[in-house]
Structure 1
């Protein structure tokens, strides 16, 4: 996105989906967990020199409040982490980035027991807003990252999916 290419740390998502009693599709969001990923070149885009700790930069995906796995719609925010940035520094803070994921091939069953399915998806049309809440480094950081970035950015997504049906869940 923008001027930076990063392979994000693996993301684990928990959600439920399936038919409702009236036949409509239902979904419930559970949680999302991931770790920060270092951004090559840190805050300056160059070697850290004599201040490697202070100039490091990492990005962490956060749930943006919308998920629809039937249609491929998904929203994320991206927290920017550095000792020199405010804790609120986020791309998509007020308006999360909306992705419209498209499958890039068929799903592949890896295992039947437990059920394990692999697939890939992508969005190459999304726009990315500026980072907000970054304190006095907001403008130089946005220049460094190439934000805002008009449509045509790319997010590729390789997923491994498993599931349990409600009759397989432990009794409460």
Structure 2
């Protein structure tokens, strides 16, 4: 603070007000809205997310997963307790089972479908993603080596608390609303838990191209704190937990005039201090038992 000096009543300067970061964001946001001319001229479809694609990893075939310290509900390393899949139902839809590689034995390959509600903390974001379902196939290739084929993912966008400004109230300020849509990043290994995601940022004020990991996806390497738990054998229903606290979160890119402001709002990029907690339940059927398509 500068030293106070004496002034006449007329020349006494006004005290400086401390502008909070959120107020700065709100002011910059208003300027950006005026710049791009979006206010009052948005198409009805502007806030709708695109079709879902993919975002995660299913349990390995073996019940002996990597060991490690699992995150607790507080997001810090601890022990997993309680029902980890209370928010997801046992998947039953096998319509997304992919076509098998040529020359493999259908009875030795299985189509796995799993559902999860991942908890994601990266940068200034902390959300429980909307439930997702994913489908893939795995089994031995003709030469005996393990193979896997990606199927599909279905999910919904998850609202981000506070919206674009960090202070927006859910449902009351749709123009500044913000949602997070996970999408497949192009790389996956269901045996090891390695996979990549992109996160599309959905808002009436953001272009469709606005994505976290747009140029290079977020790479995850899930660790499993304990073996899978069989809940049923007929039909097979298995529960598992996994997490990654080592991934780097890139900045949002291609977001138009709000790109830099959005980075400050979300605390991105964040090279460390991030966490994905992945609690899931899955089932499977061998290909010789699937309906003929």
Shorter-chain TM-score category?
over 0.9
- Which of 111, 130, 138 is 2:232 aligned to? 111
After TM superposition, give the deviation of residue 20 of structure 1 in Å: 1.0
User: What residue number does 2:183 align with?
Assistant: 62
- Counterparts of 2:124 and 2:160, CA distance in 1: 11
TM normalised by structure 2 equals 0.57
| TM-score (normalised: structure 1) | 0.95
Indicate the RMSD between aligned Cα atoms, in angstroms: 1.3
Aligned residues of 2:168 and 2:177 also touching (Cα < 8 A): no
Pairing 1:75–2:196 present? yes
Q: 1:89: which partner in 2?
A: 210
Distance (Å, rounded) in 2 between the aligned partners of 1:127 and 1:47 = 27
What residue ranges of structure 2 are gaps of 5+ in the alignment?
1-121
Q: Paired residue for 2:252?
A: 131
Query: Are 1:48 and 1:55, in contact at CA under 8 Å, matched by a contact in 2?
Result: no
Give how far 1:47 is off.
3.2
For residues 1-172 of structure 1, the aligned pairs below 5 Å read: 1-48=122-169, 52-172=173-293
Higher strand share: 1
> Higher helix fraction: Structure 1 or Structure 2?
2
Instruction: Give the match's secondary structure for 1:5.
Output: strand
Distance in 1 (CA, whole Å) between partners of 2:259 and 2:192 is 34
Which gives a bigger RCO, structure 1 or 2 (Cα 8 Å, sep 6+)?
2
Count of residue pairs the alignment pairs up: 171
Measure how far apart 1:48 and its partner are: 4.1
Query: CA–CA distance in 2 between the matches of 1:48 and 1:117?
Result: 38
What are the superposed Cα offsets for residues 24-70 of structure 1, whole Å, 9 maximum, x if unpaired? 01011111110000000100111349x70111100011011111011
Determine which structure has more spread, i.e. the larger CA radius of gyration.
2
Name the CA distance, whole Å, in 1 between partners of 2:224 and 2:167: 35
Secondary structure at the residue paired with 1:46? coil
**5+ unaligned residues in a row in structure 1: which ranges?**
none
Q: Deviations over 1:87-119 (max 9, x none)?
A: 111001111111000002221111111111000
Deviation at 1:11, TM superposition (A): 1.2
